Amino acid sequence: MKKIRILCYGDSNTWGAIVPGKVHRFDRLDKRFTKLLEELSQGKFEVIEEGFIARTVDTDDIRMPKGNRNGTLTYVPIVCSHDPLDYIVIMLGTNDMKNKFNKSAKDMVSPLKEKYIDYVREDLAETLTNMPKFVIIAPPVIEFDEELYAGAPAKSKAFNEVYGKLAKDNDCLFVDNEGVTLGPDGVHMNANGHKVLARKLYEVIRSDVECSEMR
């Protein structure tokens, strides 16, 4: 049976970062939401992880030695290199909430639509083997309100409403952040958060696959 190919494009939460302390990852097989999603599918999904620490939606953030964290710079090559895809899952926006960038959740709407969704549907329409569906995930509400993330908790509370409307207006699937818990740093998901998100994402994609099979 052909597996459903799912690209998960995101930041350190998609990468599976565990902090504080020296940044490292949750175990590949039993903790990250990407791998939990694959396990929940019982072999039906092939999940491709493309998480990068500090990746933004479209904000330039030069952090050497690994370069600019602007997600638009690597998005198209990654999508094309993993073609064919059935779903593109995007969870970005947490890093754009940093105080130094002075952005809101609403500021993410235009770039997510134009540079991520529309670009694939329009500019890559003749390049890709098939047209993947999009799943927009509302990043977890930030709980850390100091230093880089001063003011972020209040701004990130709008993720569900803003991203939900973005998904609805652009014929995308949507996963909210209700119940997705964070670790002690107040930014990155803990093991339970990964587990909750994996289940929510699985149910959304499973339901869509079943509906498509019935048509």
Could you tell me the sign of the dihedral formed by the alpha carbons of 146, 52, 109, 176, in that order?
negative
Report pLDDT for 19.
78
Span 123-172, pLDDT tens digits: 999 999 999 999 999 999 999 999 899 999 999 999 999 999 999 999 99
Span 52-66, pLDDT tens digits: 999 999 999 998 778
How far apart, in whole angstroms, are the C-alpha atoms of residue 154 and residue 25? 27
Span 197-206, pLDDT tens digits: 999 999 999 9
What is the identity of the amino acid at 9?
Answer: Y
How far apart, in whole angstroms, are the C-alpha atoms of residue 26 and residue 31? 6
Burial annotation 32-48 (CB, 10 A radius, 16+ → b, else e):
bbbbbbbebbeeebbbb
> How many helices and strands in the chain, by DSSP H and E?
8, 9
Contact between 72 and 58 (Cβ < 8 Å) = yes
Could you tell me the sign of the dihedral formed by the alpha carbons of 123, 127, 129, 135, in that order?
negative
What's the mean pLDDT when you consider all of the chain?
95
* pLDDT greater than 70 at residue 187: yes
For the ranges 20-24, 83-87, 180-184, the lowest mean pLDDT is seen at: 20-24
